[in-house]
Structure 1
């Protein structure tokens, strides 16, 4: 992780929806406060974060500037905050809505690769596109 980033997003580069969101975040990352790391990039080692690839594939993770690893909806708030758009994700932290957003995200995380086809992405046909990558824990 580059220490100049306020937050580093660990994202699934095989997920069409994830790639679109990362491209959008990259376009708003004018001050370079958000680091972006594809967990499928050559040389990426999930063990560096104490995780397996399957664990990182199960839900989104991110790394805070102090090295803490976070996962789930708080990752989106941190990533959007790093690009100056935390207000867009603020409702995900409100007590009355937090649980709903957590449930919706958990469903999305399990189905994200199949949902990519709804957004015009080519349907994924190989083992690399599985939420369960076959690497590490199952």
Structure 2
């Protein structure tokens, strides 16, 4: 697929998703700092439009961009991020053409179900709790929808 990989790879992920955050935490612990960068799209500082995308598009599946500007999404973004973290052996089944259609189906299903998995424990949940009260930050999409509603009401 690629003759030469142009590292680093920048991985765009939704830090509000408990399962996504767990995978990112796992990758961060193994990736070389100069080979894999992480950008949390749920951060208020993230601007999808600056990259030529909408926030909804970025949230619909995993996105990654190589140093030369080549974008990969979905399972390919997963494959290359795991390779960047030195875990390519574990992601090798993503390259097997016999399993790829089934894996693509499973990934699309996960992407549809992902917004409904917010109830799962988040790896940062301890930092979100103070004085026996826990707060889950509002996602960028939810805060954008609230702003739209407020604008329509006025």
TM-score, normalised to structure 1, is 0.80
Q: Relative to structure 2, which stretch is displaced further, 39-48 or 99-108?
A: 39-48
What do the CA deviations read for 1:64-103 (whole angstroms, capped 9, x no partner)?
1211222110001110010111111111111101111111
Unaligned runs of at least 5 residues, structure 2: 1-5, 126-134, 147-154
TM-score, normalised to structure 2, is 0.72
Separation (CA, whole Å) in 2 of partners of 1:127 and 1:96: 40
Contact 1:49 1:69 in 2 (8 A): no
1:109 Cα deviation after fit: 1.1
Q: 1:59 aligns with which of 39, 56, 61?
A: 61
Separation (CA, whole Å) in 2 of partners of 1:5 and 1:48: 21
Which has the higher Rg, Structure 1 or Structure 2?
2
- 1:97 to 1:114, Cα distance in 2 relative to 1, 3 A: same
Contact 2:12 2:64 in 1 (8 A): yes
